[in-house]
Structure 1
């Protein structure tokens, strides 16, 4: 015996320009029928929150699925899977497509080469699927946009729930972020973690979808923007605080990546945020508490 509920949608071309669209959602549990062998033309995230079963990909090998787990079904890739007939499983799925899938794949949120992904917890993903299911009520005028937004949220929830990422985040990325403002080379960062530069590049690419240099640069520029927008520190002092001893190099780098010079960025923020300058350097780890 099994129970199943599902809805399917056909978003209009204008909705596809959102980057992602939801094509369907389902909630099922019990000794469900076997799926496939089949091949789809879109993506599906299948979240197994309880029970166990099996999965077979294009290589023909049968892998055991133990909850909590994620099964990635990607376009053009044959697959075949099902729950253990003795105990069944609890499954939720979301079908989606759109040009943003290419970017999410490049960033490592969608993993075509790893169809079966162990999760540390399926609760966050299940909550997002539940919101998609509630949005799927008949006559909802916001259906396509609401479900499309939720697909973005689902990909983030699944990335956060991967079993190879701790609750505090990827330890390599956490350590890099902690040391981001030190004037260290990539090789020196790698040595601090007992890794070769190649190993560090692989770890950061897997965790953040970019090179260590780009990951560090994003953190440094983000902090530089905060200091430029909220203090009167000279640009040279801002450069030193984020790890650049040469203010001219910092200004060129900032301008190339942000699109405007640091002083121009400060001018824009000063006009956009009334109330004058703060004499306290903002601490990103301790934002102010808003009370009413």
Structure 2
């Protein structure tokens, strides 16, 4: 299990903003465990890989938590949650402030049900990641204000939501979209494990999301995109093959030629001649 957590004690002035973040963290590979607890502040939890259950006392039933689910935990209410066999990955945030009651009255912070499907799953994920990054910096007034602003954005991204069902596909689609953005923007050699780490998911989760979005593994998708880009440059420019190789992400021209030939069926120079004829 890998766990990262940061805690802060916001100055009184920050509380006048309505919300103040007191902690944020990420847990990867949390093993199955269930402990009853009561918080003295508000909390939010985004589960982005794996599944489990949530029991919120005073709310009937045992709620199912699926990948992409988000749930808010009110202060002073006993609750118990945790992953099923196989564990799960989560982001969590702790906060306080008078605006919490206002958001609750407006239908946010779990008013629609204990476990929600975020209105914008990708944005909720991004704001959780940003919250953790902000709290990992040296403490400052600007950092507290930025964290409070990010929390407002997270609440908006989760939205009034709706009770989640057994539908893990939406989060996977959003994860696939973010993964493709990182793959498309990469230059030079790419380690899929680093992409997975940046998105805070396992390699298997990343591969499944990319396969759902493209029908290919991340490696094959990236190779096809780069070769397609090279075809355009070979056709539309007079740039040397070695320069085109570096432009599309292959610093070794010989390796680029092998990859291109395997995918296109001919060497880059032959492809250029064919297109010009």
Which TM-score tier does this pair reach, normalised by the shorter chain? 0.5 to 0.7
Q: Is the 8 A contact 1:121 1:161 kept in 2?
A: no
**How many residue pairs end up in the alignment?**
162
How big is each residue's C-alpha offset from its partner over 1:114-142, in whole Å with a ceiling of 9 and x where there is no partner? 22123466321110111112212342422
> Is 1:56 aligned to residue 55 of structure 2?
yes
Q: C-alpha distance in 2, partners of 1:130/1:93? A: 10
Q: C-alpha distance in 2, partners of 1:23/1:38? A: 18
- The residue number in structure 1 matching 2:80 is 80
- The residue number in structure 2 matching 1:6 is 5
CA 101–151 in structure 1, closer or farther in 2 if over 3 Å, else same: same
- The residue number in structure 2 matching 1:157 is 157
- The residue number in structure 2 matching 1:128 is 127
Q: C-alpha distance in 2, partners of 1:153/1:120? A: 12
State the 1:20 CA deviation: 0.4
Q: C-alpha distance in 2, partners of 1:18/1:150? A: 12
- The residue number in structure 2 matching 1:145 is 145
Instruction: Specify which structure has the higher proportion of helix.
Output: 2
Pairing of 1:32-71 with structure 2 (within 5 A): 32=31, 34-59=33-58, 61-71=61-71
Unaligned runs of 5+ in 2: 165-277
- The residue number in structure 1 matching 2:24 is 25
Unaligned runs of 5+ in 1: 165-292
Q: C-alpha distance in 2, partners of 1:19/1:121? A: 23
Pairing of 1:1-292 with structure 2 (within 5 A): 2-32=1-31, 34-59=33-58, 61-84=61-84, 86-112=85-111, 114-119=113-118, 122-141=121-140, 142-159=142-159, 162=162
CA 97–33 in structure 1, closer or farther in 2 if over 3 Å, else same: farther
- The residue number in structure 1 matching 2:223 is none
* TM-score, L = length of structure 2: 0.54
Q: Is the 8 A contact 1:25 1:93 kept in 2?
A: yes
SS at match of 1:155: helix
Q: C-alpha distance in 2, partners of 1:39/1:160? A: 24
SS at match of 1:87: strand
* TM-score, L = length of structure 1: 0.51
